[in-house]
Each structure stands twice: as structure tokens, then as C-alpha cells.
Amino acid sequence: MRIAITGCGPAGLATALMLSRQEHDVTMFERFDTPRPVGSGIILQPTGLAVLQWLGLTDEIHKLGKRIDRINGVSMPSGKQVLDVDYAALGEGFHGLAVHRAALFEVLYAALRSSGIEINTGIEVVDAIVRRGLVSISDSAGQRYGPFDLLLDASGAGTKLQQHALHPARLRELEYGALWGAFDWPASGFDENALEQRYVRAHTMLGILPIGSHSAVSGDQVAFFWSIKTRSYESWRRNGLDVWKREALSIWPEAGAIVEQITDASDMSLARYGHSTLRKPYGNKIAFLGDAAHSTSPQLGQGANMALLDAWEIAAALRQTSDVDDALRRYAKARRWHVRAFQLSSLALTPFYQSDSRVLSGLRDLLFDPMAKLPIARHVVAGLISGMLAGYGPAGRKMQQITAGATPTERSELP
Ligand SMILES: Cc1cc2nc3c(=O)[nH]c(=O)nc-3n(C[C@H](O)[C@H](O)[C@H](O)COP(=O)(O)OP(=O)(O)OC[C@H]3O[C@@H](n4cnc5c(N)ncnc54)[C@H](O)[C@@H]3O)c2cc1C
């Protein structure tokens, strides 16, 4: 098939790689002149890592990242532990891998370049037109491209193509976003295999995530983030760094070795969060993948991993049938429960960590840790953090299929 993909993020890059390996004729469109990663650190969960393994990129990504075994959070000033998740609850060998977003981008992009896929850059795709069963796209300069048998929209949360979904959804901007930056890893004081967070009620949150290195830096790095209302960003800049640094250090004095590396407000970038879920992630000759289909706050850290699962499932659907409409329905069905479960969980849990509510932060401090220590709850919490629920459980058939790199025929023979 002739397949167009919009967007060179994790969803677009992984999908392009898979489909070109299935001998489809893939053409990519990216709005930036030079495709580049946006943001700082992300955790690749066992789900996302399985897809990278399927693509044969395990060694490359592990060389750049830091293994994450635990995620913990402490409420301040009480010092009470309110989050303590251990990947070991899922079974032996499970872990996350924290990477600089540039590292994930580099690994996927390098594989893509060596596959000879055509990438058209500097093209902002704004519309799609279906005629006689084929789809064409148009850009902001009025230029048309195509026709294609199928369009895969992986252009992120701000996609311009959502009106072509069967049931378009509205992107709801969340009140809280975060300031993010990548800095040198401090020699001591932090666990290099854990994401650590500090909270003051739910209005303030700081996080420290070891992210390894990538080609543009020599040593190991750490992603540092600070929760902020997006409308307060300008006043944060106006108040000056010293005021904010004093506040950050009063909450987490040990973070000094990182905070002192911040010398200009532009060292921290503002990330805005929005929430939107397509009920059916497809339309006529078009499928939506990654944030274009489901975006949310990164509190549960699943977005890039869900994008990689989307890539795997659309490729699997296109291996199972050569009928585009049938493939789109199969893709939607395969992703339905996992996407719903994580989008709902993210919506429900984010206000416990990012909101003005005293009640929710009080409940969090009182109940989350004791509840998470109950035998079954430990697994559920680890499943929520790792993405391994709702059809992608650690011992489930789907994860076996992905990690086994099985073809559809082989898959039906799996236990
Ligand atoms: C601060 C922060 C922290 C996060 N932490 C995590 C984490 O720990 N774990 C995790 O799994 N996820 C995390 N996420 C979420 C994750 O980054 C996203 O879910 C993921 O990047 C989605 O991938 P994507 O390919 O769908 O979209 P994107 O990464 O947004 O890529 C979209 C691409 O499309 C291009 N594009 C956009 N519009 C157009 C257009 N009109 N025409 C052509 N090209 C276009 C863009 O330039 C971009 O290259 C985090 C997000 C943020 C903001």
C-alpha cells in the first residue's frame, strides 16, 4: 500500500519503520525543517520497551538510558512516603528505562534513515481529502500530496486532522503543566535507578529522573521538573530565578546540586498538558496514533509507550488484512480497552498530584501508601505505572506476541 504518515514523533517513526519492513511504500511528512525531539525525560515502560525490542532496537536504547526500578514520592513538609512503586511487583526482570527524549528520537530516526523511507520536512499538514477510495493531504501552503491508500496521523495532540475522525474529540487544556530541564547528573544524593518526587499538597511537585545520556551530551543527565499552572508562567519568569530557587530548596535541599545548574529561566521549558481521547481512532482512510488519538497529562508516564503500542497494533492489523477499512476497525478494537483504561486513570489521578484541592492531596497522603501495600493493590499500582494492564499484562498473550516478534500466522500458534 501507499501509506502517508504525518509527524516524526515516537508514533510516526515507529509506525513508519514497521510498515516499511512489511514492504509498504511509506512517505512521511513533518512540519519541522529538521525533525527533532521536544521535551526532556521520559520513562519507557515494559510495553514500550517490548515494541522497541520487536523493532530490534533494544541494545541501542539501553545503551543510552537508565534502568528505573522504583518510583517514589514524598509529601512535604511531613516527609511522609505517599508513593512507592516497585517494578519487581510485576515479576522478575521488569523495569522501566528513563531516556532523554532525544535518545528515543535518535534511535528511531537512525533506524528510519537506514531504511530509506522518504521524509518530507518543513510541511505542515492541515487537511485530508478522500476521493474514489484514496486519500490526499494538503499543507499550510496549499500544496497537495498523494493520493495514498491510507493516511496515518501521528502529528501529536495539536493535530489539524481530527475533524476526519468518526467522532472528533475536543482537546481540554489542563490548568497545570510543568517546567522541565535536563542537567548534569549530580555525583551523589540520588538513587540512579528511581524516579523521585516531592509534593507540597497538590499545588507543588518537583521530580528528579535520571535519564542517561544521548549523542549531544557527554555524561549522564537528570531530568528535573517543577509543576506549574501554565497561566502563572509569566509571573514565574518575572519574579526571577532566586525567589523560585529558594522555594525549591526549602522543599528539597538535596536538589541543590541540580538547581544551581539553572542559571537562566530558559534552562527550563514550559510543557502544557491537555486531555483528549478519540472514541474510535479512525475515519475514512485515516487512522490516528499516539497523542493525536489520546493525549493526557504525563502523570502516569504512558504517552510515548501508548504511541509505540499504537504503532505495533496498526502494523499488526495491516498484516492481518489487506482491506484498509477492516484493518482500521481491527486497530481500534485492539487498542480500545488499554487506551480507555489509561486515559481514565490519568484523568482521575492527575488532580491528586496537580490541583488546588486540599481534600485530594489529604486523601492521597492518608490512603495511597497503605492501600498500595495491600497484596493485590501492589500489582495493580505496578500495572498502572508500567502500562501493563487491560490486555497487556505481564504474563498475557499480547506481551508475548510483541516480545516474540511473531508474525500473525505464528501468533495464532502461541499458547
Ligand atoms: C513534559 C512531558 C513529559 C512526558 N513524560 C512521559 C513519560 O515519562 N513517558 C511517556 O510515555 N510519555 C511521556 N510524555 C508524553 C509523550 O511525550 C507523548 O505522549 C509522545 O511524545 C506522543 O508521541 P507522538 O508521536 O504521538 O506525538 P509527538 O511526540 O507530539 O510528535 C508529533 C510530531 O508531529 C509533528 N507535527 C505536529 N503537527 C504537524 C503537522 N500539522 N504536520 C506535520 N507534522 C506535524 C511534530 O513536529 C512532531 O514531530 C511526556 C510529555 C511531556 C510534555
**Would you say residue 75 lies in a domain?**
no
Overall residue count recorded for the chain in this entry: 415
- Asked whether the beta carbons of 11 and 289 are under 8 A apart, the reply is yes
Ligand 1 atom at minimum distance from 42 CA: 8
- Asked whether the beta carbons of 5 and 152 are under 8 A apart, the reply is yes
The Å distance, Cα 376 to ligand 1 centre, comes to: 33
HEC states along 204-216? EEEEEEEEECCCC
Which residue has its alpha carbon closest to ligand 1 atom 8?
42
- Asked whether the beta carbons of 188 and 197 are under 8 A apart, the reply is no
**Would you say residue 105 lies in a domain?**
yes
Ligand 1 atom at minimum distance from 155 CA: 34
- From residue 355, alpha-carbon distances to 172, 204, 350, 385, 408 in Å are 15, 9, 8, 20, 45
pLDDT at 248: 98
**Would you say residue 198 lies in a domain?**
no
Among 291, 385, 386, name the best residue to mutate to test ligand 1's pocket (greatest count of ligand atoms within 8 A of Cβ).
291
pLDDT at 412: 43
pLDDT at 106: 93
pLDDT at 409: 42
CATH number at residue 336: 3.50.50.60
Task: Give SS3 for 183.
Answer: strand
- From residue 333, alpha-carbon distances to 103, 311, 320, 337 in Å are 31, 14, 13, 8
Which residue has its alpha carbon closest to ligand 1 atom 30?
156
Q: How far is the C-alpha of 242 from the C-alpha of 30, rounded, in Å?
A: 39
Q: Which domain holds residue 403?
A: 2-65+101-172+276-353+391-412
Ligand 1 atom at minimum distance from 98 CA: 8
The Å distance, Cα 370 to ligand 1 centre, comes to: 34
Which residue has its alpha carbon closest to ligand 1 atom 38?
155
Q: How many CA atoms lie within 13 A of 146 on its CB side?
A: 28
- Asked whether the beta carbons of 400 and 393 are under 8 A apart, the reply is no
- Asked whether the beta carbons of 180 and 223 are under 8 A apart, the reply is yes
Q: How many domains does the chain have?
A: 1
**Would you say residue 208 lies in a domain?**
no
**Would you say residue 115 lies in a domain?**
yes
The Å distance, Cα 291 to ligand 1 centre, comes to: 6
Q: Which amino acid is at 413?
A: E
Peptide bond into 394 cis (omega under 30): no
Ligand 1 atom at minimum distance from 225 CA: 1
Question: Over the chain (415 residues), what is each successive 10-residue block's mean pLDDT?
Answer: 97 97 97 77 96 96 96 97 93 94 94 93 98 98 97 98 97 97 91 97 98 84 97 97 97 96 96 97 98 96 97 98 98 98 97 98 95 88 93 90 66 39
Which residue has its alpha carbon closest to ligand 1 atom 37?
155
The Å distance, Cα 80 to ligand 1 centre, comes to: 33
Which residue has its alpha carbon closest to ligand 1 atom 20?
304
**Would you say residue 334 lies in a domain?**
yes
Residue with cell 502523570: 299
- Asked whether the beta carbons of 389 and 383 are under 8 A apart, the reply is yes
Lining ligand 1 with CB less than 6 A are 6-12, 29-32, 39, 42-43, 124-125, 154-156, 158, 160, 178, 180, 271, 290-292, 298, 301-305, 307
Among 31, 99, 353, name the best residue to mutate to test ligand 1's pocket (greatest count of ligand atoms within 8 A of Cβ).
31
Task: Report the Cα–Cα distance between both ends of the chain, in Å, rounded.
Answer: 31
Phi, psi of 142 (to 5 degrees): 85, 5
